[in-house]
Amino acid sequence: MTPLVELRGVDFAYPGSGTRRTRPFRLSEVSFEIAPGEILGVIGPNSAGKTTVIRLLSKVLEPLSGEILLEGKSLLTLTRWELARRVAVVPQDAPPAFPFTVEQLVLMGRYPHAPGRFFEGGEDLAIAREAMAATGVLGLAPCALESLSGGERQRATLARALAQQPRLLILDEPTAHLDLRYQAEVAGLLRRLNRERGVTILLVSHDLNLAAELSDRLLLLAEGRVARVGPPEEVLHESLLAKVYGCRVSVEKSPGSRLVVQVMWPEA
Amino acid sequence: MPTDARRLALALSALGAALLVVAAGALLVGSAAVSPRAILSVLLGGKPEGIEAVVVLNLRLPRIVVATLAGGALAVAGVAFQALTRNPLADPAILGVASGAAFGVVLAQLFGLGSTVAAALGLSAFAFAGAMVAAGVVYVIAATDGRLPLQTLLLTGVIVGLFFSSAITVVISLVDFNRLGGVIHWLLGNLAPISGGSLAVFAVLSAAGVWLVLGRARQLNLLALGEESAIQLGVDAERLKRRIFVGASLLTSCVVAFAGPIGFIGLIVPHTLRGFLGPDNRLLIPAALLGGGVFLLLADTLARTLVAPAELSVGVITAFCGAPFFVYVLRTRYRGIP
């Protein structure tokens, strides 16, 4: 089966990185695949390159060398809207600069499907409403985004991404700033989207337990390189995590056979 | 018909009606007493000679056209700059762009331009160059990581504006005052009738500016989510920003060239319209075009009548309305936004 996404030896450095006051940062020789229908969790310490991977996959940035293929075709051959019909990104929560409503936000997800149109059509509205229903924000459709809670806004943004009808859904820290209830809600929603609609998901998270719980495979990045990729139980090793994160970590199987990663506090 | 298109049609009909009413008022009032019946007969083609015809056709009607055009152009430029900077307080005057254009116009005046079409084009070119330089400088100074934070943007705009105002003062001081006779009056905003050629150039350039901005209204909505999100939704953000930058600077500079640097229209009109229509630029931009016309025409009619038979500069009226409005918006609606 052709992978949905394939990165082959991707190198990247930000312009001016490593000069003067910026810390040197490079993505080196990053290669991995995302199979259709899987959930891939991307984990790693701060500045390991997680967000850079998202930016490369959505062509906000282009690799210095190496290739990124989507369904076997180089990203460079796709226009921005062609790409946006296939890959949707849910960024970290940030309300827009103007008080758009939930419905207006979700309709923005229809832009790549008809970039030349001035107004969205009836079909766009139907798809947007369906996406809002899927993430449970249909009742909030006429509300301004800035009036919502962080969790509601996150689900609205997720609905916007679903309205793009993407094959790959990328989420950047989907549960950051959310309390436990919303975390559980978002996690359940992602699993449902994956199982019921077959949406392929790339999930970037600092929450190793959430990533392990949701993902079929984990990709561990460290200092711009792939440290390991595989099923959660192969990646979440105490010694590997301790080396990559630079702190003591315990990994245990909970009674529900979930993997539980815990930081061991340094002794006082 | 989808709801958005219906709302747009509704808003445009309401604003169109308001424009007709205000325009009728502007035709009726003035220092020369002309009866409504005489105005009507002049408009319908009767009585082509006589004082009434001169007042209506050569003074009031051209003035109404210039005011409507200038107000519409400034309001659209305001919406465009606000979308571009993702900042609801951006305005051609506050950003210093209008001062840059004004400096360009003063320089052009040094060459003693006449009233031909070529002269009008030359004047616009100088104003446009000035506007682009000012907007570019503001952008470069205020941008941090591709964002334009509120305080930095406003401060930079004010400072760049002050710089160009000082430059204008320097030019005026150095040059024989007679060569710049009308400059002082023009600098405060002046909607006195302009030649037919100038009016045509003004109209064509404004139309081009509106086309540049309105044609990307949907993409501008996406830009409100941030540049990266807009790109990820399929927008070529760099091209979009360049196009809007050019369009908004063009709109600002042609108004400055033919009517002077009139402030605050680009702030008051879009903000008021947002209260009714929401932030969707596809509704806001066409509505601002008409709404700006209504507002400036109203302000100009007040400027002509408040101290009749003398006349205030229209920029004085818009500033008296705009300055408190700016403070109000800053203190209430956008309190605490970084």
pLDDT of residue B130: 92
Local structure of residue A247 (DSSP, 8 states): S
Contact (CB<8Å) A108/B4: no
Using DSSP's 3-state secondary structure scheme, residue A6 falls into strand
- Quick one: pLDDT at residue A15? 74
Smallest Cβ–Cβ distance between B233 and the set A55, A84, A104 belongs to A84
Give ∠ CA B151-A101-B221 in degrees, rounded to 5: 60
Please report, to the nearest 10 degrees, the dihedral formed by the alpha carbons of residues B254, B255, B257, B258 taken in order.
110
- A-interface mutation test, from B3, B81, B213, B233, most A Cβ less than 10 A away: B233
- CA-closest candidate to residue A171, choices A158, A156, A188: A158
Query: What SS3 string covers A178-232?
Result: CCHHHHHHHHHHHHHHHHHHCCEEEEECCCHHHHHHHCCEEEEEECCEEEEEECH
Domain annotation covers residue A144: yes
Nearest to A155 by CA among A105, A205, A196: A105
Q: Which residues of chain A have a CB within 8 Å of the CB of B229?
A: 89, 91
Q: Quick check: is A174 in a domain?
A: no
Q: What is residue A246's three-state secondary structure?
A: coil
Q: What is the C-alpha to C-alpha distance for residues B200 and B62, in angstroms, rounded to an integer?
A: 12
- What are the tens digits of pLDDT across the range A148-194? 888 888 889 999 999 999 999 999 988 877 778 888 888 898 999 99
Count CB pairs under 8 A between chains A and B. 81
Specify the pLDDT at position B337.
Answer: 47
In a domain, A155, yes or no: yes
Q: Give the model's pLDDT for residue B336.
A: 47
Q: From residue B103, how far is each of B128, B249, B256, B299 by CA, in Å?
A: 10, 14, 10, 24
Whether residue A213 is contained in a domain is answered as: no
Encode chain B in three state secondary structure: CCHHHHHHHHHHHHHHHHHHHHHHHHHHCCCCCCCHHHHHHHHCCCCCCCHHHHHHHHHHHHHHHHHHHHHHHHHHHHHHHHHHHCCCCCCCCCCCHHHHHHHHHHHHHHCCCCCCHHHHHHHHHHHHHHHHHHHHHHHHHHCECCECCHHHHHHHHHHHHHHHHHHHHHHHHHCCHHHHCCHHHHHCCCCCCCCHHHHHHHHHHHHHHHHHHHCCHHHHHHHCCCHHHHHHCCCCHHHHHHHHHHHHHHHHHHHHHHHCCCCCHHHHHHHHHHHHHCCCHHHHHHHHHHHHHHHHHHHHHHHHHCCCCCCCCHHHHHHHHHHHHHHHHHHCCCCCCC
Q: Which residues of chain A neighbour B231 with C-beta distances below 8 Å?
A: 58-60, 80
The candidate with the shortest Cα–Cα distance to B27, out of B42, B49, B13, B46, is: B42
Residue A214 within any structural domain of the chain = no
Q: Tell me which chain A residues have a C-beta less than 8 angstroms from the C-beta of B2.
A: 119-122, 125
Q: What sign results for the dihedral spanned by CA atoms B321, B327, B332, B334? A: positive
Closest CA to A199 of A157, A150, A158: A158
Which residues neighbour B215 within 8 Å (Cβ) at sequence distance 6 or greater?
Answer: none
List residues bridging with A220 in a β-sheet.
A43, A228
Picking from B285, B322, B266, B209, the residue whose alpha carbon sits closest to that of residue B91 is: B266
Question: Are the CB atoms for A108 and A160 separated by under 8 Å?
Answer: yes
Q: Tell me the average confidence (pLDDT) per consecutive run of 10 residues in chain B, 338 residues long.
A: 83 96 89 77 73 80 93 97 87 87 87 72 89 90 71 85 90 70 72 84 95 96 92 92 91 91 91 92 97 95 83 85 83 58
Number of structural domains (chain A) is 1
Beta bridge partners of A169: A88, A201
Please answer yes or no on whether B86 and A97 come within 8 Å at the CB atom.
yes
> Best interface-test mutation with B: which of A119, A125, A127, A171 has the largest number of B CBs within 10 A?
A119
In a domain, residue A58? The reply is no
Nearest residue of B to residue A95 by CA position? B225
User: If you classify domain B3-331 with CATH, what class do you get?
Assistant: mainly alpha
Q: Kindly report, residue by residue over B218-262, the tens digit of the pLDDT.
A: 999 999 998 899 999 999 988 998 899 899 999 999 999 889 889
pLDDT of residue B166: 92
Euclidean distance between CA atoms A220 and A240, whole angstroms: 10
Which residues from chain B sit within 8 angstroms of residue A112, using beta carbons? Answer: 233-234
* Ranges in chain A, pLDDT < 50: none
Is B78 within 8 Å of B242 (Cβ atoms)? Answer: no
- Taking the CA of residue A236 and the nearest CA in chain B, the distance in Å comes to 31
Could you list the residue range(s) of the whole structural domain that residue A96 is in? 92-165
The verdict on a CB contact (< 8 Å) between A98 and B274 is yes
Has residue A120 been placed in a domain?
Answer: yes
- The pLDDT tens digits for B32-73 are 777 787 777 777 776 667 777 777 777 888 899 999 999 999
